[in-house]
């Protein structure tokens, strides 16, 4: 199957539009594997409506500039900018880690989210 690139139409609410002078720079996604120690992250920020997040990978192609997880890429020697969007790290043992954590008895239910 061959995919064709799609160009987004100009924003009808913007007062200006930009066009590439040449072809846009190519962006390649690199995927790395790691055996993680955990896939759960605890969050105590009042700005985020959940306490736990389940992270089966590091990095994300959604490219949200405000993402709280961006700075963690710098611990790996990558940048928090476009490296976060194009250098993804898959936690190959994520299912095993989640299974083990869910099998433990803990007190009380807590809200959690899969990183989307």
The pLDDT tens digits for 48-83 are: 787 888 889 999 988 888 888 889 889 889 999 889
The pLDDT tens digits for 18-53 are: 788 888 878 889 999 999 999 888 888 888 787 888
For the chain, domain boundaries: 30-106
The pLDDT tens digits for 84-97 are: 999 999 999 999 99
The pTM for the full model equals 0.65
In 29-61, which positions are buried (b, 16+ CB within 10 angstroms) versus exposed (e)?
Answer: eeeeeeebeebeeeeeeeeeeeeebbbbbbbbe
How much is the pLDDT for 50? 79
């Amino acid at each position: 199957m061959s995919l064709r690139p799609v160009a987004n139409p100009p924003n009808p609410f913007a007062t200006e539009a930009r066009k590439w002078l040449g072809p846009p720079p190519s962006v390649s996604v690199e995927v790395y594997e790691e055996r993680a120690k955990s896939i759960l992250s605890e969050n105590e920020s009042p700005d985020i409506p959940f306490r736990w997040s389940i992270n089966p990978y590091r990095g994300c192609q959604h490219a949200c500039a405000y993402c709280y997880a961006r700075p963690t890429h710098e611990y790996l020697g990558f940048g928090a900018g476009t490296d976060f969007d194009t250098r993804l790290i898959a936690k190959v043992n994520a299912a095993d880690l989640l299974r083990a954590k869910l099998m433990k008895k803990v007190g009380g239910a807590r809200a959690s989210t899969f990183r989307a």
